[in-house]
């Protein structure tokens, strides 16, 4: 009996093995993973514009220029009385720049005598006798709009060395280095002034 053996030539290849069930499962898993990744990609693509919009809104606020002293009409408004030996006044900062500008924080204050010499002054930020502090917020003022702050002091020791006799009040807008000096003929105990942060409107008592 003759034995026959099959010899493969260089061009012949053994039959390809059929994919096993495990390999089919791997392929199905790969297709599912790609689909999930695609959906996740769409979700990320949708989230990006939202983040960009939020950043744009913040940039819009941040790009508003600060109101310069020259752009503001700074005045002493309503005079406040009531409460033994307490006095106060509402400061008004009106934007006359012709464009929108921003204010944030507390005004700077200082007392001057009749010759515009600086007098000892201590400024206390926060609540006053006439109004609670409204908190620090950025105020975007269109042309013609105004912000205000409340200033308060006592004059128990008027006429004595324990009180400062002022003739003018230095008022410096937030983030500024120059000031206005409206007339302010007042006795101020120890040169202590109390002032609130700026707000569009501050309710006062007195």
Positive or negative, the CA dihedral 113, 198, 97, 145 is negative
Long-range interactions of 200-203: CB distance < 8 A, separation 24+: 200/139, 200/145, 200/146, 200/147, 200/148, 201/148, 202/90, 202/131, 202/134, 202/148, 202/149, 202/150, 203/131
Q: What pLDDT does residue 83 have?
A: 79
Q: One digit per residue, pLDDT tens: the chain, 206 residues?
A: 444 444 433 334 444 444 444 444 444 444 544 443 443 443 434 433 333 333 333 344 568 999 999 999 999 999 999 878 999 999 999 999 999 999 999 999 999 999 999 999 999 999 999 999 999 999 999 999 999 999 999 999 999 999 999 999 999 999 999 999 999 999 999 999 999 999 999 999 86
pTM: 0.70
């Amino acid at each position: 009996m003759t034995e026959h053996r099959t010899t493969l030539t260089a061009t012949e290849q053994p039959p390809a093995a059929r994919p096993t069930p495990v390999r089919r499962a791997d392929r199905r898993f790969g297709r599912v993973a790609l689909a999930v990744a695609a959906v996740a990609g769409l979700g990320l693509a949708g989230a990006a514009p939202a983040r960009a919009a939020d950043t744009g809104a913040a940039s819009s606020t941040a790009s508003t220029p600060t109101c310069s002293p020259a752009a503001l009409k700074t005045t002493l408004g309503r005079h406040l009385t009531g409460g033994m030996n307490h006095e106060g006044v509402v400061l008004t900062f009106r934007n006359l720049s012709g464009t929108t500008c921003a204010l944030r924080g507390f005004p700077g204050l200082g007392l001057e005598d009749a010759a515009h010499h600086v007098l000892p002054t201590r400024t206390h930020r926060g609540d006053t006798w006439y109004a609670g502090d409204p908190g620090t917020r950025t105020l975007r003022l269109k042309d013609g709009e105004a912000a205000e702050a409340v200033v308060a002091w006592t004059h128990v020791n008027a006429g004595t060395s324990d009180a400062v006799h002022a003739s003018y009040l230095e008022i410096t807008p937030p983030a500024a280095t120059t000031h206005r000096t409206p007339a302010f003929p007042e006795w101020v105990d120890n040169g202590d002034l109390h002032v609130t942060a700026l707000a569009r409107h501050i309710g006062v008592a007195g």
